[in-house]
Amino acid sequence: METFAFYFLAISITILFTITVWSKNILNAMTALAAGMILISGLFFILRADFLGVVQLIVYVGAVMALYAFGMMFFDATGTVKEKNRPNFTVLLLGVLTAVLLVGIFTAPTLINGVPSFYPEMAGATNPQAVGLVLFTKYLVPFEVAAIMLLVAMIAGIILAGKKMDNSISRMSEEELKAQLEKDSK
Amino acid sequence: MDGYIVGTIIKAILVLAIISALAGFGTYIERKILAFMQRRLGPMHVGPYGLLQLAADGIKLFTKEDFIPSGANKFIFMLAPVITAATAFIALAAVPLLPEFNLFGIEVRPIISDLNIGILFVLGMMAAGLYGPLLAGMSQRNKWGLLGSARTAIQFLSYEVVTGLSLLAPIMIVGSLSLIDFNNYQSGGITHWLIWQQPLAFILFIIAGFAETNRTPFDLLEHEAEIVAGYATEYSGMRWGMFFIGEYANMITIGFLAALIFFGGFNSWGFIPGGLAIILKVSFFFFLMLWVRASWPHIRPDQLMWLCWKVLMPLAVINVTLTGLWMMI
């Protein structure tokens, strides 16, 4: 049953991401991306990592939704996008080689030794508890570094986007709006 | 093992049948209650007190011509309503609907899948449900549809943070993500309900819940007075109906979540047995949604973003911090 589920999910995910890469319609591409991301959470459920599966689901549903918002602004969703870049053999070769290399690097240790588990399953600990214990003991430093990086990104985002946050266009009177537009055009 | 699979399939079919029937019945209740609040009669002509209006609507929806606009992206246009309806029912899979009971000597647990991360699963699935309106609006090549899906995106990005943060404080108190643990934590009677410990979290959750189910005052996605019907402009017949089955199923799910997390779930309530207690609570939340719809006008999209990011999210963060301090001391 689990083998069947794994192959079903793996093949679907591969097909969906292929569509994401090849499709010239922005709507098809993004929908395939979202569906693929949601199906990946199925792989986590098969591995009994329920918590990570749900986190994958929630994070990527939101992230791809933001991508849709950009797609809506920049492209005609029902038309096809005219791409200017011609097929480039060197880029293709390098890309495929990198992908093969990465797969090799990540599978080699497991092929040789099997997968040794540094933190074996704790009896009685539920999924989120197990994640929390490992996160706040062994991986505390990477966790804090990631937190600082996110803080930096958040501050940068607020500074970039928040320049004119205090004056809301929808609350201005007609004169104020005109004055604002003239000021902006200068 | 085989019994488990068969039992799960039976439960899934029962939940699907009962909730979709209730969702249909919900439209009748909604019209009746709105009519009562506006001093009208509501549906009266088909059957006694208009009860058969439901059947008439069903016949109309099933027999109406199902057309797809010529410029639309056909596959995604057809897929979108299915996403809304399907995710609404998948979300219900992790919700314990009634207390355990015995049927012909077999102990029945009325929950399809008891995940130990139940709350997150339900919220994640309901979030995925918003892809329905988003894809519907974008695929139909209609400017009102596109506006509807743009509003879906901003609504989703606004309320999602508030939902998660508001539920974090009760999760910290109970120390579990399973809805059954939430229910058992509050088994000591009405004084043990989490609403007394977390009133702010409840208010934030119910506001975000209204945004999640597109109820007034947050029904920006398809507001008739502004953008025709928003994402549903080009839909007709059963495809249109599926959006609404999904919406009403989501309303029921939010009712169950509010009852389970804050209002003691399916513990028996004085002399009222647990099964009836939770049905009464969910009915009350359903009624609350209709009551609010009759009482309040809807708000603008920028007001929704202002409310979620500048008012509700700081409040939720303060609530989480205070709960943490209170638990440490």
Test the B interface: residue of A68, A74, A164 with most B CBs within 10 Å: A68
| CB nearest to A58's CB, from B124, B134, B150 | B124
Of A62, A81, A100, the domain-final residue:
A81
3-state percent breakdown (helix, strand, coil) of chain B, nearest 5: 70, 0, 25
* Cβ-defined contact of B128 to A38 (cutoff 8 Å): yes
- Look-up of token digits 């005219």: A82
Q: Mean pLDDT over all residues of chain A?
A: 82
Q: Is B144 on the interface with A (CB under 8 A)?
A: no
What domain range includes position B249? 2-328
Q: Is B234 on the interface with A (CB under 8 A)?
A: no
Question: Total structural domains in chain B?
Answer: 1
Closest chain B residue by Cα to residue A171:
B302
The amino acid sitting at B71 is G
Residue B99 — left, alpha, or beta (φ > 0 → left; ψ -120 to 50 → alpha)?
beta
A40 CB-near residues (< 8 Å, 6+ apart): A9, A13, A56, A60
Phi, psi (deg, nearest 5) at residue B106: -105, 135
Q: Is B176 on the interface with A (CB under 8 A)?
A: yes
Q: Can you give the pLDDT at residue A118?
A: 65
d(CA B145, CA B77): 11
| CB nearest to B116's CB, from A25, A50, A168 | A50
CB pairs under 8 A between A and B: 89
d(CA A105, CA A109): 8
pLDDT by residue for chain B (329 residues), tens digit each? Answer: 567 778 788 888 888 888 888 888 888 888 888 888 888 888 888 878 878 888 888 888 888 887 888 877 788 888 888 888 888 888 888 888 777 776 676 777 777 777 778 888 888 888 888 888 888 888 888 888 888 888 888 888 888 888 888 888 888 888 888 888 888 888 777 777 878 888 888 898 988 888 888 887 887 777 777 777 778 778 887 888 888 888 888 888 888 888 888 887 777 777 777 778 888 888 898 899 888 888 888 888 888 888 888 888 899 999 999 888 888 87
- Look-up of token digits 């012909």: B104
Tokens of B189: 């009677």
Nearest to B299 by CA among B233, B216, B229: B216
Closest chain B residue by Cα to residue A166:
B306
| DSSP category for residue B307 | I
d(CA B23, CA B15): 12
Test the B interface: residue of A2, A23, A31, A168 with most B CBs within 10 Å: A31
What Rg value do the Cα atoms of chain B yield, rounded? 20
| CB nearest to A127's CB, from B116, B140, B146 | B116
Phi, psi (deg, nearest 5) at residue B269: -120, 95
Test the B interface: residue of A54, A64, A80 with most B CBs within 10 Å: A54
Q: Is B78 on the interface with A (CB under 8 A)?
A: no
d(CA B261, CA A129): 20
| CB nearest to A128's CB, from B146, B160, B177 | B177
Tokens of B308: 């979620």
Test the B interface: residue of A47, A56, A65 with most B CBs within 10 Å: A65
Checking if the pLDDT of A167 tops 70, the result is no
B77 CB-near residues (< 8 Å, 6+ apart): B68, B69, B136, B139, B140, B234
B260 CB-near residues (< 8 Å, 6+ apart): B95, B96, B179, B182, B183, B266, B278
**Domain harbouring A23, CATH code:** 1.20.120.1200
What domain range includes position A155? 139-186
Measured in angstroms, the CA of B143 and the nearest CA of chain A are apart by 11
d(CA B243, CA B235): 10
Work out the end-to-end distance of chain A between its first and last CA atoms, rounded to an integer number of angstroms: 67
* Cβ-defined contact of B121 to A54 (cutoff 8 Å): yes
**Bridge partners of B269?**
B272
> Tens of pLDDT along B106-165?
777 777 777 778 888 888 888 888 888 888 888 888 888 888 888 888 888 888 888 888
Partners of residue A1 in chain B, C-beta under 8 Å: none
ipTM at complex level: 0.78
d(CA B109, CA B102): 9
Question: Total structural domains in chain A?
Answer: 2
Residue at A106 is within a domain: no
Q: Can you give the pLDDT at residue A164?
A: 67
Test the A interface: residue of B1, B77, B138 with most A CBs within 10 Å: B138
Nearest to B259 by CA among B183, B207, B148: B183
Measured in angstroms, the CA of A54 and the nearest CA of chain B are apart by 6
* Cβ-defined contact of B134 to A68 (cutoff 8 Å): yes
Q: Can you give the pLDDT at residue A100?
A: 93
Partners of residue B140 in chain A, C-beta under 8 Å: 78
* Cβ-defined contact of A65 to B157 (cutoff 8 Å): yes
Q: Is B141 on the interface with A (CB under 8 A)?
A: yes
Residue at A149 is within a domain: yes
User: Which residues of chain A approach chain B closer than 8 Å at the C-beta?
Assistant: 25, 27-28, 31, 34, 38, 50-51, 54-55, 57-58, 61-62, 65-66, 68-69, 72, 77-78, 126-128, 168, 170
Of A81, A109, A131, the domain-final residue:
A81
Partners of residue B141 in chain A, C-beta under 8 Å: 77-78
| CB nearest to A27's CB, from B73, B124, B130 | B73
Q: Is the peptide bond before B217 cis (omega within 30 degrees of 0)?
A: yes
What pTM value is reported for the model?
Answer: 0.82
Residue at A172 is within a domain: yes
B207 CB-near residues (< 8 Å, 6+ apart): B162, B307, B312
| DSSP category for residue B272 | B
| CB nearest to B117's CB, from A25, A50, A168 | A50
> Tens of pLDDT along A88-136?
888 889 989 999 999 988 888 777 776 666 666 666 666 777 788 888 8
